């Protein structure tokens, strides 16, 4: 069961974008997601392989429709819910994503 992320050697995705883009983030929220991810990993809330596994387990349609750091955000939320750090849907509550 190769997952949607495992597309190495697969044709049909168009040309590879080789733009020399040195900006690590393209929006403030991306940097915040990266920072939150680092803090949670450092605290041992999840490990790198669990994180990768969570991203790879996204439904293919959702995976393909989301940006790189959107996947990071969705995976972090899923892991926090799975680990019981937050309640399911908690970030959807009013003020939850503040």
Partner 1 sequence: MTDPAAAPTTADRFAPGARVRTFRHDPPHHTRLPRYARGKRGTVVEPEGPAALADVNARGRGDAPVEQIYAVRFAARDLWGEGDHHVVLDLWESYLEEDKGDATDER
Q: How far is the CB of 9 from partner 1 (least distance, A)?
A: 4
Q: Residue numbers of the site for partner 1 (CB under 8 A)?
A: 1-2, 6, 8-9, 44, 46-50, 52-53, 56
Q: How far is the CB of 54 from partner 1 (least distance, A)?
A: 9
Instruction: Report the distance separating Cα 79 and Cα 26, nearest Å.
Output: 24
Q: How far is the CB of 44 from partner 1 (least distance, A)?
A: 8
Q: Among the residues of 1-98, which ranges form H helices?
A: 28-42, 48-56, 60-65, 68-82
- Please count the other Cβ atoms lying within 10 Å of the Cβ belonging to residue 86: 14
Closer residue to partner 1 (CB): 21 or 49: 49
């Amino acid at each position: 069961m190769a997952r949607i992320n495992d597309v190495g050697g697969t044709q049909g995705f168009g040309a590879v974008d080789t733009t020399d883009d040195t900006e690590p983030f393209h929006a403030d929220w991306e940097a915040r997601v990266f920072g939150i991810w680092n803090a949670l990993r450092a605290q041992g809330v999840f490990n790198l392989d669990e994180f990768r596994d969570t991203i790879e387990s996204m439904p293919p349609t959702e995976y393909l429709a989301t940006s790189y750091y959107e996947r990071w955000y969705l995976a972090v939320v899923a892991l926090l819910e799975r680990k019981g750090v937050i309640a399911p849907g908690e970030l959807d509550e009013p003020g939850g994503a503040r």
